[in-house]
Amino acid sequence: MDYGFTEQQQEIVNLARAIAQKKIRPVREHYDQTEEFPWPIVEELRKVGLFGVYLPEEVDGLGGGNLELVLAAEELSKACGGIALCVATSSLCALPILLYGSPELRKKYLPDLATGKKLGAFNITEPGAGSDATATKATAVLQGDHYVVNGIKNFCSTGKDADTYVIFATTNPNRGARGISAFVVEKGTPGFTFGKKEEKMGIRANGTYELVFQNCKIPKENLIYKEGYGLFIAQLTFDYSRPGVAAQAIGIAQGALDETMSYIRQRKQFGQSISSFQAIQHMMADCATQIEAGRALLYATVRAMDASNGPAIRKAMEENKVVADCMNELDTKRWTKESGMVKVFCSDTAMRVATDCVQMCGGIGYMRDFPVEKYMRDAKITQIYEGTNQIQRNEIAMMMIKEAASKSKKDLVAA
């Protein structure tokens, strides 16, 4: 379907597709099996400039928005959702800096993330704080010109292979949710090491690590925005980034269906190709319909988000201000509900489609030397990270109730 992309957006699609199909597809099994980090592919992505498509030109990005990021993530994920993840985690690290960072912090960290010279990671999760980030236990104590961080963060994607990390720790345990703050930490900072590497079901090309902080000193300037703003920062970041997970999901679903279509047309049983059976045809039609519905929701939502966020980001760049402050000044809409909807719909679609693709292929679909089972393993994570789909539904419902309440209040005033 023609979604009316700009020339630049079409170039992103073409380039990401070329890398996905020519460079990633031939090696994805290798990285899935070995769990090595795909450095040669990172180098390709760097060279063509796919890391910074959504970042402003002022910080060496291409000047696009969320749609540009989503298009790159979708195309790369069609070949391998695990390898594509390094682009997403770099954006997850860049976004809190873009949205809440001071102009100085932006200038210091975003250009290297935009060019891909450095990879980024983002870690809010802890062993005791998953869905409930308010339970964060890691601490950051201000001592003179630096914070001293202690604690264990876990499940960090691109864990050991990033250079720049955004992490969350409490600066005031007495204040609970309002005591959590966000920091930028560089790899190699004394007191910052890596713990356990997880063994995973899917997205195995991207290592998931524990981050260990033992009296780790972070310069005071690396606090993002103000103390106590950590969860606001995380929420605004997720509002922006969850469509990226949706894009990964849609890419995985489409990749699985493409592989399946080429197999079921040539596989013969009962003297005919299995794609001639109506039971299979209905399954493929449902898969394609759900993917297209997800994609349409995804593109429509990020377009609306870009139109809404764009002016605040531009204003912040031009006037040397913090983006979130400009959003407040311009009364920019919050996208929590819509971005949750996109993530839920597309990731549930990916899981269903990938499962049906294995079913359509039959026994071979279950085998490791055939590409479809990997899509099913990779699809599962999209329902879990950046907030499980249960949490998304909670947030969607909460926003609905708030909206309904404020509407009935308005109606009351009007009446």
Partner 1 sequence: MHIVVCVKQTPAATQVPVDAATGKLKTEGLPYGLNPWDEYAIEEAIRIKEKLAGSTVTVLSLGPARAEEAIRAAIALGCDEGAHLVDPSFDGTDNMGSSYLLSLGIRKLNAAKPVGLVLCGKQSNDNESGSVAPALGAWLDWPSVAYVRKFASIDEKLAKIERAAEDGTDSLEVDLPAVVSVIKEINEPRLPSLKGKMNSKKAPVAKWGAAELQAEAAKVSAGGRLEIVGQTPPPPRGGGIVVPGATAQEKAAFVANKLKELKFI
Residue 79 burial by Cβ neighbours in a 10 Å radius (0-12, 13-18, 19+): buried
The verdict on 59 binding partner 1 (CB under 8 A) reads no
**Of positions 29, 35, 48, 393, contacts partner 1 by CB under 8 A:** 48
Distance CA 348, CA 39 (A): 30
Q: What angle do CA 20, 120, 253 make, to 5 degrees?
A: 35
* DSSP secondary structure code for residue 205 in this structure: T
Which residue, 23 or 343, is less far from ligand FAD as judged by CB? 343
Interface contacts to ligand FAD, rule CB under 6 A: 89, 122-125, 130-131, 155-157, 200, 203, 208, 381, 384-388, 390-391, 394
Distance CA 78, CA 308 (A): 28
Distance CA 166, CA 183 (A): 6
The verdict on 411 binding partner 1 (CB under 8 A) reads no
The verdict on 21 binding partner 1 (CB under 8 A) reads no
Closest separation in Å from C-beta 209 to ligand FAD:
9
Give the pair of three-digit tokens for residue 316.
Answer: 């912040």
How many CA atoms, within 13 angstroms, populate the side-chain half-sphere of residue 394? Answer: 7
Which residue, 165 or 225, is less far from ligand FAD as judged by CB? 165
Alpha helices in 220-269 (DSSP H): 230-266
The verdict on 53 binding partner 1 (CB under 8 A) reads yes
Q: Which does 323 bind (CB under 5 to 8 A by kind): ligand FAD, partner 1, none?
A: none
Closest separation in Å from C-beta 405 to ligand FAD:
21
**Of positions 27, 29, 49, 111, contacts partner 1 by CB under 8 A:** 49
Which residue, 140 or 381, is less far from ligand FAD as judged by CB? 381
Task: Report how far Cα 152 is from the mean position of its chain's Cα atoms.
Answer: 22
Distance CA 323, CA 328 (A): 9
Q: Which does 165 bind (CB under 5 to 8 A by kind): partner 1, ligand FAD, none?
A: none
Q: How far apart are the first and last CA of the chain?
A: 46
For partner 1, which stretch binds (CB under 8 A), given 43-51, 74-82, 293-301, 388-396? 43-51
Q: Which does 15 bind (CB under 5 to 8 A by kind): ligand FAD, partner 1, none?
A: partner 1
Amino acid type, 261: M
The verdict on 7 binding partner 1 (CB under 8 A) reads yes
Phi, psi values for residue 61, rounded to 5°: -85, 180
The verdict on 198 binding partner 1 (CB under 8 A) reads no
Closest separation in Å from C-beta 140 to ligand FAD:
16
Q: Which does 157 bind (CB under 5 to 8 A by kind): partner 1, ligand FAD, none?
A: ligand FAD
**Of positions 30, 39, 47, 406, contacts partner 1 by CB under 8 A:** 47
Distance CA 317, CA 101 (A): 12
| CB neighbour list of residue 95: distance below 8 Å, 6 or more residues apart | 237, 240, 241
Q: Which does 50 bind (CB under 5 to 8 A by kind): partner 1, ligand FAD, none?
A: partner 1
Query: Among residue numbers 91 through 150, which ones bind partner 1 (CB under 8 A)?
Result: none
CB 331 within 8 A of CB 95: no
Closest separation in Å from C-beta 346 to partner 1:
25
Q: Which residues participate in catalysis according to the annotation? A: 386
| CB neighbour list of residue 187: distance below 8 Å, 6 or more residues apart | 162, 163, 164, 165
Residues making contact with partner 1 (CB under 8 A): 7-8, 11-12, 15, 18-19, 44, 47-50, 53, 62
